[in-house]
Amino acid sequence: MLRRMGEPYCVGIVGAGGISEAHLQAIKMEPRVYVKAIADISLSSARMQAEKYLIPHVYSDYHEMFEKDFIDIVIICTPNFLHAPIAIEALKAGKHVLTEKPMTIDVESAIEMKRIADQNGKILMVAQNNRFHGETLLLKRLIQQKKLGNIYHAKTAWMRRNGIPGWGSWFTQKHLSGGGSLIDIGVHMLDLALWLMDFPKPVAVMGRTFDIFGPHKQKIAQWGQVNENGFFNVEDFAYGFIDFENGSSLILESSWASHIKEDQAYVKLYGDKGGAEFDLLNKRAVLYTDNGHEPINTLLKPPAEDDRYNTLKNFIDVIDGTSQQICKPDESILIQQILHAIYQSAETKEMIIFS
């Protein structure tokens, strides 16, 4: 679709919770888009965001918003189980879609989202914003330049010490979230590691999950609340081991709650010419090489980048036809398949073989 001369794309946001704030802040920096409407089942929440960001149209029902011809783009900021049905309806209504991660809660829905997007000629993108930090963009370029050589192994993790996001909310109910720490924060690091590795094809996955603290209402994050009407039936810790067709491997850990020194989120890459490490929480990336006699550690210092703005910018560039899509639906589907395989392996205690 060609951008209309001189006019911004009109955005409709579904979900007025905390994550909508990140998208609204990014939109303020992008002149090609304008928030025309916001919808939330909590009309008071939608009105609050509308007043703060001068959004002219407010709805309690996103179906009504999708009927409006003036909406070009839908940004989805809802609980995980709603990503697929909202995206599919928006795509069928002729809107481009940017959705929060994870893509959805099951593989079949992810595949259907892409099918509907292709069928309707619309752009579908999952907002994997951690690809868009200055450090990760630079690291990706260095990898493409073969500074690490062939990456044969990687480790990645997002570990919290006391970070269960409440108790009894949609986060802790599997039918609404799809899982616990793995699909919530582990998905970020899995996506980032695989993107840096250029998405090798998985051949086998093994994983385990644990619910150590959540069932006892321990280690709940400071921002979390307890809803006694809900329940906790997801994992608070998970790990996965992935073997790839090219001979490389990846270890993934995710935790909402652990007895550890401090929170950490990282990707470590091991190549035959060099290694690299990215610390997400401290925005620090280091390249490790040798000169034949001694090790060389190079701190990467790219210009500061706004990851949320860069995500939005790439999405709009793709709609305008001026750039390649950095977060592709096929990649998000593969992420969904690996997450499913880890959960399946944890349940069956068997290695899952990819066909």
CATH code reported for the domain at 9-126:
3.40.50.720
At residue 1, the pLDDT reads 40
Bridge partners, 239 (sequence order): 208, 253
Q: Hey, how many other C-beta atoms are within 10 angstroms of the C-beta on 94?
A: 14
At residue 3, the pLDDT reads 41
Which residues of the chain form CATH 3.40.50.720?
9-126
Query: Per residue, what are the HEC states of the chain?
Result: CCCCCCCCEEEEEECCCHHHHHHHHHHHCCCCEEEEEEECCCHHHHHHHHHHHCCCEEECCHHHHHCCCCCCEEEECCCHHHHHHHHHHHHHCCCEEEECCCCCCCHHHHHHHHHHHHHHCCCEEECCHHHHCHHHHHHHHHHHCCCCCCEEEEEEEEECCECECCECCHHHCHHHHCCCHHHHHHHHHHHHHHHHCCCCCEEEEEEEEECCCHHHCCCECCCCCECCCCCCCCCCEEEEEEEECCCCEEEEEEECECCCCCCEEEEEEEECCCEEEEECCCCEEEEEEECCCCEEEEEECCCCCCHHHHHHHHHHHHHHCCCCCCCCHHHHHHHHHHHHHHHHHHHHCCCEECC
At residue 4, the pLDDT reads 55
226: left (phi over 0), alpha (psi -120 to 50) or beta: beta
End-to-end CA distance of the chain: 36
If the chain, 355 residues long, is cut into consecutive pieces of 10 residues, what is the mean pLDDT of each piece? Answer: 68 96 97 97 96 97 94 98 98 98 97 98 98 98 97 98 97 98 98 98 98 97 93 98 98 98 98 98 97 91 95 97 97 98 98 92
At residue 180, the pLDDT reads 98
Which residues of the chain form CATH 3.30.360.10?
131-305
At residue 292, the pLDDT reads 80
CATH topology of domain 131-305: Dihydrodipicolinate Reductase; domain 2 (3.30.360)
Peptide bond into 102 cis (omega under 30): yes
Is there a contact between 77 and 13 (Cβ–Cβ < 8 Å)? yes
